A and B are shown apart, each in its own frame.
Chain A
């Protein structure tokens, strides 16, 4: 894997390679938006019409709500941008009560393996706690940590590490 130096270039290459990453870029765009009204425009800008996502679908959740939040280095504090995403997740989950969720906690590669498993778990727990505070019932949520074992961005610099320090809300079937 060759090193990619600019975050922008890295993002675009990742999009080209991996459709799942599209959701991540969308989330980043959301984080930078002051108003939710801009969301469809952003989606259209990436060639994905907002209408493509059926309300209540997995795609709707990923694209229009944002399925992941990001953390600072070695931290499990829910940042302000993440709070906005989690509030939208909670609203969406209230609207579609048939979904259970698994919150996946992840760490970047700049730590040792065992500590990062615990750090990922700590991030997932903090995310679950925040969602519970937003009214998501505890019995609809489970957590799992993958530590640093499942990065989504693969370069060896901070542009990727910041994307890998994340908690991803994965929709599952009917509540557990």
Chain B
């Protein structure tokens, strides 16, 4: 189903010359600065009708939640856009300090498909920065909106967007001592949520495959805690490997060919990989300790993981073949759940110190540790595909259950992601190519 929808959804760029980046564009955001002043942007209601307006509303909401854009109040608009193909009256937008302007139109084709077009204008330079159009089935309207928001984000920040992405997570319901858990999937903004498993068995720690078609996760099905693989399109499930004990903490390799995970034997957990084609397993660590939460570097050459071999949980990096295991975390407290950034430049982690749980980042050599948020319980960061935003789960004391939050790499712009019940273990999908 997903794949079919993707085939239906293709983009068509307008002629290049008209939309080439103007050399003197003034509208840009330096995303590296941290706590940037959000860029005032006017997102006008797309023409014409209810669905068109809903699409522009989602575009504005995406941009706003990124913390990098401040959509201008529509009540302040002077020019009413009547013809999306004509140049806007730049003075009308400059006077309300809308530095960028988004105009669009959504029409229905004869075959039932939607055609969505938009233009992004630099009002102070008086130039068009971007213009694109998309065809899709009407039920994909939210995706089209996210794709438009991504295009705007990328054009202005110079970084890939992350709005056309999904989150797989554990949906939790019921009291704490009788909690029900299901895998669920939703758009990154919390919409289009649906369950992927029933609530009969405990399911934990889902992760996307690089092509977004598969989920690896852990399930207690048949009272046998094991790592599973789930095909999103067909719903087909299978146990990964034939291990003699509990397997847990699975993640895919960046090429999607292997699953890396922990195998519990007696009191120790060691890290193994299984090649999904040949079904061969390889042992990477061999210690009388708990080695778990492995995460590949984006080039697949290295793995970061946590181990209590030194007494308490700390982060270690090794080669993808298990060679050269080196401790990288040395601060106060214990470190766990390391996740390598898709950009390769940072490792996010959970840190326990002084009775608090924090989310932080450090460089792969362990230097430059920064804490982004601290509280009663924060756990399990996952990276947006552009490596600029982290999502994690938080439980406040007395709250009864966890909720999902996102935060900028700079530590600013913390946002709760609305879910129907409690939620934990978010994993961010890659971008579609």
- Residues of chain A having any CB pair with chain B under 8 Å: 1-3, 18, 74, 76, 109-115, 117-119, 121-122, 125-126, 144-146, 149-154, 156
| B297, CB-defined interface residue at 8 Å | no
Q: Tell whether A114 pairs with B205 under 8 Å between CB atoms, given A109-B377, A144-B225.
A: yes
| Contact (A118, B290) CB under 8 Å given A112-B337, A150-B177 | yes
B63 within 8 A of A: no
Q: Which residue of the partner chain, among B177, B249, B424, contacts A18 with CB atoms under 8 Å?
A: B177
The chain A residue sitting closest to B425, CB to CB, is A113
Please indicate the chain B residues that have their CB under 8 angstroms from the CB of A2 in the complex. Answer: 398
Residue of chain B at shortest CB distance from A2 = B398
Cross-chain contact B223 with A151 (CB below 8 angstroms)? no
- A119 surroundings in chain B (CB, below 8 A): 290
Number of A-B contacts (CB under 8 A): 97
Chain B minimum-CB-distance residue to A155? B398
Q: Could you tell me the distance between the alpha carbons of A154 and B352 in the complex, rounded to whole angstroms?
A: 21
Number of B positions contacting A (CB below 8 A): 43
Residue of A nearest to B250 (CB): A114
Residues of B within 8 A of A (CB): 175-177, 179, 181, 202, 204-205, 218, 220, 223, 225, 245-246, 248-249, 262, 264, 266-269, 290, 292-293, 306, 308, 312-313, 336-337, 350, 352, 376-377, 379-380, 395, 397-398, 400, 424-425
Most buried by B among A1, A3, A115, A149: A115
B267 touches A1 (CB 8 A): no
Q: CB distance B398 to A146 under 8 Å? A: no
Known: A113-B380, A114-B337, A119-B290. A126 touches B204 (CB 8 A): no
Does B350 contact A121, Cβ atoms closer than 8 Å? no
Contacts of B376 in A (CB 8 A): 156
B352 and A111 within 8 A (CB):
yes
**A118/B177 in contact, CB under 8 A:** no
Which residues from chain A contact B292 at a C-beta distance below 8 Å? Answer: 114-115, 117-118
CA distance A89 to B218 in the complex (A): 32
- In the complex, what distance in Å separates the CA atom of A133 from the CA atom of B379? 38
Tell me if A149 and B204 are in contact (CB < 8 A): yes
Residue from the list B246, B379, B424 in contact with A145, Cβ < 8 A: B246
Q: A115-B306, A118-B292 are in contact. Are A154 and B202 (CB under 8 A)?
A: no
Q: Which of B177, B204, B218 contacts A152 (CB 8 A)?
A: B177
The reply to whether A154 and B225 contact each other, CB–CB distance below 8 Å, is no
Q: How far is the CB of A87 from chain B (nearest CB, A)?
A: 21
- Contact between A154 and B336 (Cβ–Cβ < 8 Å)? no
Residues in B with CB closer than 8 Å to A154 are: 175-177
Q: How far is the CA of A145 from the CA of B226 in the complex (A)?
A: 11
